[in-house]
Structure formats: structure tokens, C-alpha cells
Structure 1
């Protein structure tokens, strides 16, 4: 009997027996692949981790630190400027500017309001319907409350506005302007400037998104008084004009800094404050300027300009013994607290014409010839000279301002009456070389060394360039230009016993540590002997002499001060006509330089009027002279300082019999 199914059963049994083996092998293979894949992935991750930690680690740490760290700058306060008595002329007031990023602020307010409405359980439709109104409510609240928080002024309501669009205003802060800025499509807006720091900090803490940025405000409490000396600072806090510019390094100081870490939401992380460098404030600069005198001189010049209808007026007052500048003024000085654009359009400016705008001094310069001739022993105040009405020098004919024949003027009379011819006769005795030497001694053609910017050296032809007519012009004050400060300095040398001291406007500099900072000492130059200086100053009293007959009268007669001896010199210098290039017969600089009192010099005053049409006193009185302005300033000073009266002195003989 045949059994066909048996082999198949064996085969099936063998196949069934091999299934677990194959599945095991497949499983093992898969496990191996998984293990390999895991090991590869682990190797990759370990490699990546190694790369991040070891290779990129330092750089990433620096980036993370930079993202966390905030560097804060502590601005240094600019040093104050005060006068010789400690009165403030310029100081810095610290304030804050309230700033926002309108676009960012509105987005963040929207997010905050939306989150709050979700917390309150409002539906999506309700949120969408109310979100814009809620954002607007927050903005209007900020716009209405910020002005009230800034000041205690009267809050005015715009009657034409509804309660929802009111224009609440405190001082110059308007809620409407603030609201407009909060609605602006920009990333930066200044809501309010010049806010008290404490108030600004409170506002910044109260309203999300408002920052209190540091702001320094330079204050000039005296307006235009002394502004030609002080100058001003630019918007970025650097000096632009005057002492603010020349003394910028002293006044500026050094900003401080610190570093602190912050969290992701901008909050400071406690304990991370480091690298603290305190700010070093600028130095305090004490000037030689007398604020009261500066005020009086500026007011007097403005009145003199108006009365005389001059184009301009300048004056400098020096301490005769030290060369310190007590006042330095010119008309048209700008008020830094006013509308600058308007004032500039009216011709006012920050210029200090007293040191930067030279002019021909005219007969005021004759004092150099007088001092040189007496120092060289070539004459004395009482020598009688036969002075003709004109003189020829190197083909140039020079005449006196009035026609006359030969007149017996004394040396005192030559200068008291301001004779051009007599002055040139003495200059001829002196000679060109010696005259040039005295010009150098008096500091002409050189800057004075004053600690202010843009000082002119004036104009003085160098000796090698003199032509035949140069020596016919210089001794009578034409052909060279001086600043008002140089003019005052020439007379200061004589008032100080023949020793010229470089003028100074800075008295002391006090550093932020309270210690005085050494300043360069002014140079002293012996110009003439003490005896010569006293002789010249006394001889120039003749300028103020008055004689009813006019014979013994000086050019400033009638401008004397009762009880005091005054010395000085008038000047009238022709201006060059810009069209012809020749000296004008109608345009003049009118000058005066003088010493008060002459017997014991305390003050030197130099004055210049540019093209006056009449006298500088009220109603145009005072004649075509700057002497009345000198007398006004000298009188104010002598009275203010209680200077004792001068002893009686005999007048000089100006014209011999």
C-alpha cells in the first residue's frame, strides 16, 4: 500500500522548524541595524555636542553674555562757569526726555489687552470687537495723565473739545501733541523734553513703554550778558563758541559706565552689577569777568550805539595792575535763551568782536610814539615844538585835522590836541627801527594770549615791507589794525608802570576733586621804565583839559570827572572805501582808550564806535567822540569801588605863548 503524503509532512515539519530560526536572524539583524543607527546617531550627537561645547562654546558664551549684558553710561556733568564773585554765568541742569517707540508700544499694549480679555473669559469675537478701543483708551490715558504728572501748573481744558479728545496742557506740555506722537507710525518719538529726573522716573515706571532718557540742559541765567565771552554748546554737548569752545576739554568731564545682566523680559538680574566706573564731572571755571560791570558796559554800549546811530560798538575793561579782563562787550550779542533763528535774522550773533574784529585805532595809537620818545630821552612833556600845518614824509603829505600855520605846541600839547604833524616830528626823531621795536614791545601784530578762540593778531606791516609812506601812517594810527583788547593792553602797560601783562579772562579752574588746576601764567613784558610810564600817563591828562578860550583845551575836554584825574586819548580813523580802495572822508572808526584814575591807575577802558553819525549820549550829544562812553564806565567803576578822589593837579601848557 502506497503512502504518498508522508514525505510532504516531513518537508513541512522541517520548514516549520526553520521559521523561528529565520525570524530570530531577522530580528537580530534589525537589532544590529538599530544598534548601529543608535551608535551613529549618538556619535553624531556627541560630536555635535563636542563641537558646540568645545569649538563654538566660547563664541556662543560671548554671544549669550552680550545678549544678557547691558552697558549703562553715566554722563558727566559739564562744569559751571562763574564770574569773579561766584555768580553763575553758565551751568548744566540735568533733565530727562520721555521717549517711546510708538509702533512697538501699540503692539505690546494690544497683546496685553488681548491676554487680559482672555483671562476674563471673553470670546474671540468679543476680543476682536473691543481690542482697538481698549488700546486707544490706554493711549488716551497716557496722553492725559503725563502732562499732569510733569508739573503742578494750571491744567487748561480746550472748551471746543469733547471729554474724549480734550487737550490738557501743563506749561508747554500738550496732551494732544502726546497723543499724536503715540499714534505716529515710527520707531522713536520724544514725547516731552526737559523733564525733572524724579518725575520722569515715576512716569517711566507708571506707563509701559515710556523711557526716561538722560538729557543735559546748558543754562545761561543772564541771557545775552557776557554771551560773547561764554559762547554756547551744541546739541551734542560740545562747545561751539567762546569759552565753551576753547575750554571744552576742561568743562566736559569724563562719562562713567557700568555693566549689568538682564533677563529676557528686560528685568535686571540682582547681583550682576559690575565694571562700575564713576563719572568725572567737568571742572568749574572762575572768570575774571565782573557780572555787574559786564551788564553795565553792555547796556551802555547798546545805548551809545542807538544814540550815535553807529553800526557797532565795542569796549574792554582791564584791571590796570593785573591785566585781568573785567568786562568785554560788543553790541548785537545774542540771547541764548531766546529765539535764536529770529535773533540771527536781526543781525545778532555769538561773535566776540572785541577780540576778533580789528580796526584802525587812529590817534589812540599816538601814545606809543609819546612813550618811545620820552623813554629814549628825545623829549619831555614841556618841550616847545614849532609845528606847521602839514609835513612831508617820503613824498606823503600829512596835515592836521584843522588848518593852522606854525604853532608852538608843547609835547603835552601835541598829544593833548592830537596833532598829526607834531606826532610825526617826534617819530622822525625816533626813527623807523626804534619805532618798530616799540611796536613789538607793546605786543602789536601779535595775539594777546587771551584764553578765548578766534583772536585776531590785528594787522601790522612787517618791517621789511614798509614803503616810504608807511612811517607817515603808523605813528598816527593808520595803516595798522588793532582789536579792542589790544588797544586796552597798550594802555594797561603804561598804567602798570611800563610793564605789559598778557590779559587773562580765566581766574581759576577748580577740578572735580575740589583742587585748583594749574593754569599757564601770563607773560610780563617790560615796555618802558616806570618813570616813563608815570610821565606819559600824567601827560595824557592834558586830553581832558578844558579852557574857555580853547587854547589849552584837549580833544576830550568836557568829559572829565569832578574829583578825579583821568588820562586817555581820542581817536578818529578813516575807513577804507570798499569801492575806491582809498580812505573815506565820511566813514570813521571813533576810538578812545583811557586810564582811571591817572594818579593811581586802577582801570583801563578801551572803546570803539563804528561809523557813528552823531554823539553817543542821549539825543546824539557828546560830540564825535567815544570819550563820553569812557567817562560813563569810569565813573560807574570809581563810584562802585569807592576809589578815593585824586589830589589836585595843575593843567599842562599845551600851546606856548
Structure 2
């Protein structure tokens, strides 16, 4: 710049120099043949590029806004619901199964909380592989996962030790078979302490601890034929399997509850609990059973079966005035707390023969013929009948069990000696139609509806179906069948002034909140008058009467109980031969039913031995009378029943 130049000239020179520099730079970037390298530095070029950028940004924003609107306005509800579903769970609340108690409130069955360890074998390899990949076990990470094969072997070899006797033995072979199967669900072990189950699943997350209610039967086999058992009835489903556990399952099981909540990392989000339905525990059933009596009677029945060589033995004890079942025992009753399969292999049974099995009662049923004859005024206890050794009815000849000519038996003696011929002579006086009415009043052919499953109604032919020989069988206890409970109920009616009360087993049912559910009153049927009932009971004291000469002796003097008057009846009924389909001459049902004390009845005891080879005490003959003596003596002592005020009067069985 020249000295003295004006400011305007200086500015012009500067601008000229800058313009020349720019022109030269533009020329260098516009070398021929390299036009692709030319930059448009003009204002229009800059404007064009800015427009493109702005448009691109606007498009992106518009797309984002559209997507956002789609998510919020179109799919918002479904996505929100899906998200909520992923964090929302329904939690089930298990109801506790109700208790079963005896008449004094002692526990016969109750529920204990436990856990069972389960696995999903089909998905185990994948799960184990993922766990090993994400968290391998190293020296620095001793709690990490082993390779799948080693993980599996670790479970198989170490799980039994972790149980530490908390449950039944778990065999390695069983675990290996279960864990390597293709099943989607397998139970590995049940009845595990919840604390131990938690330790197991913490160590092996691939195993699952599920809550489990363990049914406890503190008395083992005692009363198991009545109480039954609770357990698996289908895959993943538990319920009553037999006995009262089955028949009262709906009341015992209660009602499961639930609630819904949102979870985050396995923890409930505060304030999200909703739709709450509390679990309602099952009802408590108090039975009429006396645990002490049930224990004793069950022991005696088992011993009688073994001593007599019988196929089985059963006994029922009823309260004479109320019809309540005090005890109901069968031999070879299974212990629900033991190894069931092993017990079945040993001959133990789930069944309750006292209500499920029907048999022909034999002479023990003659008491109905006696009651009908007395009630209808066809005879008196002291009437003397000339009883021949046999009798013909409609072409059927019936004999007594021993050969004899005409004998002068009193009506009392006919039954005290158990004469078939004398019984049918009296039945003829009653007549078929009237006799059929008495069978109905005594409940023959009718289930008692005691409340246990599989109860038999027994069988008696309708009057219209009777043939010529039917009336030659029914009055002496053949040609009909009944359960032991029904047979015992016949004698309960006579011990209760002629009123038969339907046997009952459940005293009360109470809900979890303490509300008692009313029980239906047992049905009452007047069978005979109080006077007739008293007369028949007194007549049947003859069965237990002894006599050194044998003339005035009944069929079961061994059933008598010292210090008490007793009344009862023996029975022997031919079984059906499975091959010939006719009555067998070697296989018998041996029965006994008795009342104690006879002068003021408290208990009625019914007994049945299936084809015994000896008496119930192992002695000669085939009699259940000794078992009645032992059970009756214990009951009278246990309940502090006063001795009879007087000895039973001597009865005349055979007129001299």
C-alpha cells in the first residue's frame, strides 16, 4: 500500500487482492479432466446443500413423529397391555386341607406344609448349557455352573445327601432315569422340609421347589379303613383316594385363593396387589370313632384272623342308643404312612370290608324271624314246639345242623339252640308277605349311607320274585346278603327299644371360621314295639347260657362276660363254591352279633370271619364268640359301665 493513499483506496486494493486470490484458487480446482473435484463455492451451492439437509431432517422427524403416533395412538393399548402382562403375575394361595378328628377331638388326619422337588427334564440340557456359558465355575467363581454333563451328575450324586433323611430314600438310579428322560415334568422327591428345599434350588436353579401339603396320619393303620388316604389321583392332581378322604373330599379340600400383582426382579411392586381372593381352608370333620376303641378292636380283629386261619376278619361296634359307630375294624388294614406297594405285596388292603363287602349272615339273622313272630303274636318265649329233625317247604327239605328226632324246644330254645327247623316253623306262622315287611323295616337290602365310598346295599329278593324255596332260606339267614354294618344295625334296633337308627359316622363338620354345618338327623325306623324288643333281647340271652349237662346250654356260652348280662346270636352261612356255583360244604362265613349289657344296652358288636379254620381264639370249632367276649369286656371296662344289677335268669331251652 502506498503511503498517503486514501482509506477508500486502501480498501479497494485489499478487495482486489482477495478477489485475485480466490480466482486463482478456483482455477486450480477446475483443472480440465478433473471436473468431479470441482466445488461449488457459490452462495447458490451452499443454499442447495442446506436445503437437502433440512429436507432430510424434516423427513426423519416426520417419520419419527408418525411412528410415535402409531405406537401411542394405534398400538399403545396393546403394547401397554403386553408390557403389563410381562410384569404381572397371578399368585395362587393354597388352601389347607381340613382335619379329621375322633369323638374326643384327637387328630386322625391333618395337613403339614412341605415341598416337593421337581424338574423339567426335556429342557434341562439347554438350561444347563446356557448357565455354564454365562456363569462357568472357576477357582475364582466356585459357585458357577459346571458343564451340563457334570451338572447332571452332581445333582444325581449329591441331592440324596442334601435331603439328609428328611424324606424317603432317593436312589441315584431313579434320579438319573428321571433327569435324562424326555418328560416335560417329573417329580423327583416329595415331602421335603421347605428350608431344605430352598437350599436345593439355590444350589441347582434348574430344579424347582413346589409347595406341597403332606397329609399326616398320626395313628398309622389305626382307622385307615375309615379315614382313607389323600394323595395323587392324577398327574399333578391330588385328592382323596379312598375312605372318608374320598367321600368328604369336597368339604376337606377347601378353596384355593389368589391375588394379582406386578413384579420387578421377582419382587412385588408396592401398591400393585389387586384382585385378592383369600384361600378358604377345608372343613374339619369330627367323627364318632373312639381312637382307643378303634385301636383295641383293630388289634383283636387282626389277632382273630391269624389265630382262626380266616381269610379275613371284621368287627363293628355301635352305640346301642344312638347308632354311632364307635369302632369299625378290618384285618390287614394298610398303613397310609408306609410303603404302600410293599404292604399290598404283603396282603394289606385299602378296602373297608365292614361296609363294602356283602355276605350271607346265616343264623345271626334269625333274630328278625324271632322279632316278627313275637311282634305278630304268633308265639311266646315259653311256648313249647315239637321240632322234628327236618322240614319241607315248597319241595325244599331243610335240616338242623345236627341230627335229632322230635325235640320239645321252647321258642327261646329254638333260637338258643339255633334250630333251622324250629325257626322255619315260626316263620310259616308269620307268613311270607309279613316277613318281607320286617326285612324292609330292619333295612335289609338298603345301604346305610354312612358317608363312606363303595358301600354295598346287600341283597334281598323282592317278594314278587320269591320262588318256592326262597322262604325256606331267608328266615334262617340264607338267600340274602348284607354288610357287617347292616347286620350290626339289626341288633341295634332291638337294643334300642325296637327303633332302628341309621348308623352315623360324622358327628360334626365345621368350617375354617368356626361355623358348624348342621348334620342331617339319622333316620329312625320303628321296627317292633319296645315290649317286643325287650322280649327278644331277653330271649337271646339263651345263646350265652351255659349248662354242664348241655341240655339248657346255648350255642355260645363263651361269649358271656362275667358280671354282665349279655345277649347275642351265632351264625354260620355256607359260601358259594366258585366252581360249582352251589353252596359249599367246606367254606363258611362265621358271624356273631351281641348286645352288652343285655339288661341296659350300651354297645352292639357285630363280627364276621371269612372261612376260618378254627375259632377266633384259635380253639376248636368255628366260632366268633370269643372275639365278642374280648371286645365286649374291654368296652364295658373302658367306659366304666356298671355291672348288671342281677344275674341273668336261667332260661328253659328244652322242655323236660
TM-score normalised to structure 1 length = 0.85
Q: Which runs of 5+ in 1 are unaligned?
A: 1-15, 121-126, 154-169
| 2:69 counterpart residue number | 50
Q: Distance in 2 between matches of 1:251 and 1:134?
A: 47
Q: Distance in 1 between matches of 2:476 and 2:175?
A: 69
| 1:220 counterpart residue number | 217
Q: Distance in 2 between matches of 1:131 and 1:509?
A: 53
**CA-to-partner distance for each residue in 1:104-129, whole Å, 9 max, x for gaps?**
35633552358997xx9xxxxxx9xx
Aligned residue pair count = 610
**CA-to-partner distance for each residue in 1:160-186, whole Å, 9 max, x for gaps?**
xxxxxxxxxx88678989997999698
| 1:246 counterpart residue number | 247
What pairs up with 1:382-401 in 2 under 5 angstroms?
A: 382-401=382-401
Check whether the contact 1:110–1:135 (CA below 8 A) recurs between aligned residues: no
**CA-to-partner distance for each residue in 1:585-604, whole Å, 9 max, x for gaps?**
11111110110010000000
Q: CA deviation at 1:349?
A: 1.7
Check whether the contact 1:333–1:348 (CA below 8 A) recurs between aligned residues: yes
Q: Distance in 2 between matches of 1:447 and 1:402?
A: 35
| 1:355 counterpart residue number | 355
Q: Distance in 1 between matches of 2:616 and 2:228?
A: 28
Q: Structure 1 pair 22/558, CA: closer, same or farther in 2 (3 Å)? A: closer
Q: Distance in 2 between matches of 1:305 and 1:43?
A: 94
Q: Distance in 2 between matches of 1:266 and 1:469?
A: 78
Q: CA deviation at 1:40?
A: 5.4
Q: Distance in 2 between matches of 1:29 and 1:71?
A: 61
Q: Distance in 2 between matches of 1:181 and 1:389?
A: 71
**CA-to-partner distance for each residue in 1:475-532, whole Å, 9 max, x for gaps?**
0000000100000111101111111111111111121002212122211111111111
| 2:134 counterpart residue number | 111
**CA-to-partner distance for each residue in 1:15-60, whole Å, 9 max, x for gaps?**
x9xx999987787777667666665555544443333223322222
Answer yes or no: is 1:69 the counterpart of 2:70: no
| 1:649 counterpart residue number | 648
Q: Distance in 2 between matches of 1:312 and 1:38?
A: 95
**CA-to-partner distance for each residue in 1:544-564, whole Å, 9 max, x for gaps?**
111111111111123311111
| 1:378 counterpart residue number | 378
| 1:526 counterpart residue number | 526
Q: CA deviation at 1:433?
A: 0.8
| 2:109 counterpart residue number | 90
Q: Distance in 1 between matches of 2:654 and 2:467?
A: 33
Q: Structure 1 pair 491/189, CA: closer, same or farther in 2 (3 Å)? A: closer
| 2:333 counterpart residue number | 333
| 1:9 counterpart residue number | none
Check whether the contact 1:181–1:191 (CA below 8 A) recurs between aligned residues: no
Larger radius of gyration: 2
Counterpart secondary structure, 2:559: coil
Q: Distance in 2 between matches of 1:598 and 1:428?
A: 28
Q: CA deviation at 1:652?
A: 1.1
Q: CA deviation at 1:305?
A: 1.1
Q: Structure 1 pair 406/643, CA: closer, same or farther in 2 (3 Å)? A: same
Deviates more, 1:450-459 or 1:91-100: 91-100
Q: Structure 1 pair 197/60, CA: closer, same or farther in 2 (3 Å)? A: same
**CA-to-partner distance for each residue in 1:357-377, whole Å, 9 max, x for gaps?**
100000011100111111111
Q: Distance in 1 between matches of 2:179 and 2:248?
A: 43
Q: Which runs of 5+ in 2 are unaligned?
A: 1-29, 31-37
| 2:629 counterpart residue number | 631
Q: Distance in 1 between matches of 2:259 and 2:138?
A: 36
Check whether the contact 1:181–1:189 (CA below 8 A) recurs between aligned residues: no
**CA-to-partner distance for each residue in 1:38-84, whole Å, 9 max, x for gaps?**
65555544443333223322222222111101222121111111111
| 2:11 counterpart residue number | none
**CA-to-partner distance for each residue in 1:395-433, whole Å, 9 max, x for gaps?**
111111111111111110011001111111111111111
Deviates more, 1:84-93 or 1:442-451: 84-93
Q: Structure 1 pair 362/191, CA: closer, same or farther in 2 (3 Å)? A: closer
Counterpart secondary structure, 2:239: coil
Check whether the contact 2:359–2:481 (CA below 8 A) recurs between aligned residues: yes
Q: Distance in 1 between matches of 2:178 and 2:593?
A: 61
Pick from 179, 182, 191 the counterpart of residue 194 of structure 1: 191
| 2:438 counterpart residue number | 438
Q: CA deviation at 1:268?
A: 3.7
Counterpart secondary structure, 1:616: coil
Q: CA deviation at 1:90?
A: 1.1
Q: Distance in 2 between matches of 1:341 and 1:199?
A: 27
Q: Distance in 1 between matches of 2:180 and 2:87?
A: 30
Q: Distance in 2 between matches of 1:630 and 1:299?
A: 13
| 1:517 counterpart residue number | 517
Q: Distance in 2 between matches of 1:310 and 1:177?
A: 41
Check whether the contact 2:373–2:426 (CA below 8 A) recurs between aligned residues: yes
Q: Distance in 2 between matches of 1:258 and 1:69?
A: 11
What pairs up with 1:221-620 in 2 under 5 angstroms?
A: 221-235=218-232, 236-263=237-264, 265-617=265-617, 620=618
Q: CA deviation at 1:295?
A: 1.2
| 1:6 counterpart residue number | none
Counterpart secondary structure, 2:558: coil
Q: Structure 1 pair 135/451, CA: closer, same or farther in 2 (3 Å)? A: closer
**CA-to-partner distance for each residue in 1:623-645, whole Å, 9 max, x for gaps?**
31111111111011011112111
TM-score normalised to structure 2 length = 0.85
Q: Structure 1 pair 183/538, CA: closer, same or farther in 2 (3 Å)? A: closer
Q: Structure 1 pair 393/175, CA: closer, same or farther in 2 (3 Å)? A: closer
Q: Structure 1 pair 190/392, CA: closer, same or farther in 2 (3 Å)? A: closer
Q: Distance in 2 between matches of 1:403 and 1:558?
A: 23
Q: Structure 1 pair 633/142, CA: closer, same or farther in 2 (3 Å)? A: same
Q: Distance in 1 between matches of 2:147 and 2:194?
A: 30
